[in-house]
Amino acid sequence: MKMPKMSLLDWQKKYGTETACAKALFHVRWPEGFYCPRCGCKKSSYITTRKMHQCSKCKYHVSLTTGTLFHSTNLPLVKWFWAIYLTAADKGGISALRLSKQIGVSWPTARNMLKKIRTAMEHRDSIYRLENIIEMDDAVVGGKRPGKRGRGAQGKKPIVVAVERRGDKAGFMAAQVAGTINKQVVREFIKYLFKPGQTVRTDAFPALNSIAETHKHDKKVTPPEQASTWLPMVHILIGNLKKFLNGTFHGVTHKYLQEYVSEFCYRFNRRFWEPELPLRLLNACLTHSPVI
Ligand SMILES: [Zn+2]
């Protein structure tokens, strides 16, 4: 579904007040209009400071944010909406420090907001299953220094990356951080992220052999100088992912690595709809359940 482009001024105009943000959330929460769970009355008034709707008949209070991504938040919704806009509009991904300065919250608060927003990104992507010919490879990412595959890569974490080939172009991608790359990890990754029976192209890393259990496994021994010919797209992606992690976040600790990787995937998978990204992300966040 196509969505309108949103500039910063458009956003300010549409979601620049607490009332406007509450209204947007209200429409998602009660698409058929307000309904009091106690007496069934359809009229209410909104108490902005408490983010509560008060039933006009029995005076019962119903929270606007309960059961949403903004569950039990003390922050004004307008700050949440700006966080969503800034996250989506910043091509390199916004850091918690920058977000905290832009919207006037503490660093831990900004971190927590980003965690929730990125979880909504990850869940939106997890609906999709990769298909056709898929290039797949593993790498090590994170940490401050460059490292190599497998054991001995200090401060780094293994990651599995896959991307669809659509002719000579890349389609959707998926990536997952793992403690170690073994057959079980690969099995789970493809079970949840690939359609059954696709063709998966890899190098001859033994842990990838479990692919053949459910898919057509097209593997080839690839010396480093030939790797970019056999698996060109996934290698470009891994390179870009490393730049993304080092650029915005100056090396990432393990704790947050999957979050950043999910954000990278979400952006890549919507690279042709960049101007629509703020509204798309807002929609993903407004319809998301709470993240603890
Ligand atoms: Zn009522």
Domain positions in the chain are 1-12+79-127+259-286, 133-252
pLDDT at position 179 is 85
Cα of 30 vs centre of ligand 1, distance in Å, is 15
CATH number of 133-252: 3.30.420
Tell me the residues surrounding ligand 1 (ion) with CB < 5 Å.
36, 38-39, 41, 55, 57-58, 60
* Alpha carbon distances (Å) from 78 to 51, 88, 93, 252: 12, 15, 20, 29
What pLDDT tens digit does each residue of the chain (292 aa) get? Answer: 677 788 899 999 999 999 999 999 999 889 999 999 899 999 999 998 888 999 999 999 999 998 889 998 899 999 999 999 999 998 888 889 999 999 999 999 999 999 999 999 999 998 899 999 999 999 888 765 555 554 445 667 899 999 999 988 999 999 999 988 999 999 999 999 999 999 999 999 999 999 999 999 999 888 877 777 889 999 999 999 988 888 765 666 677 889 999 999 999 999 998 888 999 999 999 988 888 7
Segment (H or E) for 281: helix 277-286
Q: Which residues have a Cβ under 8 Å from the Cβ of 70 and sit 6 or more positions away?
A: 25, 77, 80
| Rounded Cα–Cα distance for residues 99 and 150 (Å) | 35
Cα of 35 vs centre of ligand 1, distance in Å, is 8
Q: Of 97, 105, 98, 53, which Cα lies nearest the Cα of 79? A: 105
| Rounded Cα–Cα distance for residues 81 and 160 (Å) | 32
Are 140 and 157 in contact by the 8 Å Cβ rule? The answer is yes
Q: C-alpha dihedral over 189, 191, 195, 199, to 10 degrees? A: 70
Cα of 37 vs centre of ligand 1, distance in Å, is 7
State the pTM of this model. Answer: 0.88
E strands in 149-271: 157-166, 169-177, 199-203, 216-220
